[in-house]
């Protein structure tokens, strides 16, 4: 295994210091696919870093084929301040791809990352989703590339989910995410969502490592068998999508379900309570499905998210 470390120069801060992205390239002993792995597009999502540490330790004793390129800090500025977006702005880098090489600093960051993604055979973009089971998102695509992405998503060992329905997907700008942009340009890509709330989730990191290793095996970059993720709830079913469940009332969330639990249409998911304890709303499952994400803040504004369910894609 040949390992090379570098930094991609982006620009400078007002004080003249350099803004650059850490890049790691691992070359196998034989030719093969080119996989791009990105972490911390959102600066406060860092569980994937420990997944990377596990992976690098594993690769030192493995016979790898092809090339793995890792941009471990896409939103390097947000990472330094432990915030999701870009400092001194409300910009979300994962809604700014493919970027602009001559644009603002955030646009230049996404442009440089896109220049790597556009040369890859597959892209894995690792995020965290707070209080969740680990899952992997399949973005809208033409049938041929979609079916391949679903096969790889299933092989990862995580819960495979099609993304939101088209209206919501477009409205919140997911088509300009890294994975969405890659797929739109004919490059297979998946978005991995691991547990993690500000810090590193240890079990989530282990699941992320196994998922990336499983994907590399599926892509014939590693000659290893599939490893099951049996220490966290995982729903091993095809043909599911993610469905957002919101509340009309605002207040504290009193959950009656847990992560990974199977629920049925009309089942109580949570009660919204006032600061004095009174029940303001009962939030119920709109479809049969499985609980894959809860609101880790345990409070919600009007119209805020209560949970995410994995439901049948045709429903």
Q: What is the mean pLDDT of residues 14-29?
A: 97
Q: Work out the number of other CB atoms within 10 angstroms of the CB of residue 60.
A: 11
Q: Domain 240-312 class?
A: mainly beta
Pick among 3.40.50.20, 3.10.450.50, 3.40.630.10, 3.40.50.300: CATH of 2-218:
3.40.630.10
Q: How do residues 128-154 score in pLDDT, each as one tens digit?
A: 999 999 999 999 999 999 999 999 999
In eight-state DSSP terms, residue 288 is S
304 has a pLDDT exceeding 70: yes
pLDDT band at 89 (very low <50, low <70, confident <90, very high): confident
Q: How do residues 231-247 score in pLDDT, each as one tens digit?
A: 999 999 999 999 999 99
| pLDDT given at position 315 | 64
pTM of the model: 0.96
Nearest to 248 by CA among 297, 202, 205, 301: 301
The sign of the dihedral angle between the CA atoms of 28, 5, 76, 48 is positive
The sign of the dihedral angle between the CA atoms of 23, 24, 27, 32 is negative
Q: How do residues 153-212 score in pLDDT, each as one tens digit?
A: 999 999 999 999 889 999 999 999 999 999 999 999 999 999 998 899 999 999 999 999
Ordered by start, the domain boundaries in the chain are: 2-218, 240-312
């Amino acid at each position: 295994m040949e390992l090379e470390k570098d930094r991609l120069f982006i620009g400078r801060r007002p004080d003249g210091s350099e803004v650059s992205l850490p890049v790691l390239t691992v070359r196998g002993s034989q030719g093969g696919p080119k996989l791009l792995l990105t972490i911390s597009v959102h600066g406060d999502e860092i569980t994937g870093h420990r997944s990377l540490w596990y992976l690098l330790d594993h690769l030192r004793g493995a016979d790898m084929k092809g090339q793995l390129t890792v941009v471990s800090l896409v939103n390097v500025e947000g990472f330094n301040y432990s915030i999701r977006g870009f400092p001194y702005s409300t910009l979300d880098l994962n809604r700014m791809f493919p970027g602009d090489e001559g644009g603002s600093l955030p646009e230049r960051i996404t442009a440089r990352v896109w220049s790597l993604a556009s040369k890859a055979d597959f892209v894995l973009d690792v995020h965290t989703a707070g209080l969740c089971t680990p899952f992997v998102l399949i973005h809208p695509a033409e049938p041929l590339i979609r079916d391949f992405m679903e096969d790889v998503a299933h092989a990862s060992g995580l819960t495979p989910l099609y993304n939101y329905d088209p209206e919501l997907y477009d409205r919140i700008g997911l088509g300009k995410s890294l994975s969405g942009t890659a797929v739109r340009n004919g490059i297979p890509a998946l978005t991995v969502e691991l547990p993690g709330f500000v810090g590193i989730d240890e079990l989530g990191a282990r699941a992320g490592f196994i998922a990336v290793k499983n994907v590399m095996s599926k892509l014939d970059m590693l000659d290893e068998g599939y490893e099951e993720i049996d220490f966290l709830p995982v729903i091993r079913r095809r043909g599911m999508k993610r469905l957002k469940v919101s509340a009309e009332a605002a207040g504290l969330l009193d959950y009656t379900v847990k992560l990974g639990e199977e629920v049925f249409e009309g089942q109580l998911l949570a009660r919204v309570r006032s600061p004095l304890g009174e029940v303001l709303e009962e939030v119920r499952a709109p479809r049969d499905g499985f609980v894959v994400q809860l609101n880790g803040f345990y409070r919600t504004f009007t119209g805020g998210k209560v949970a995410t369910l994995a439901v049948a894609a045709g429903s």
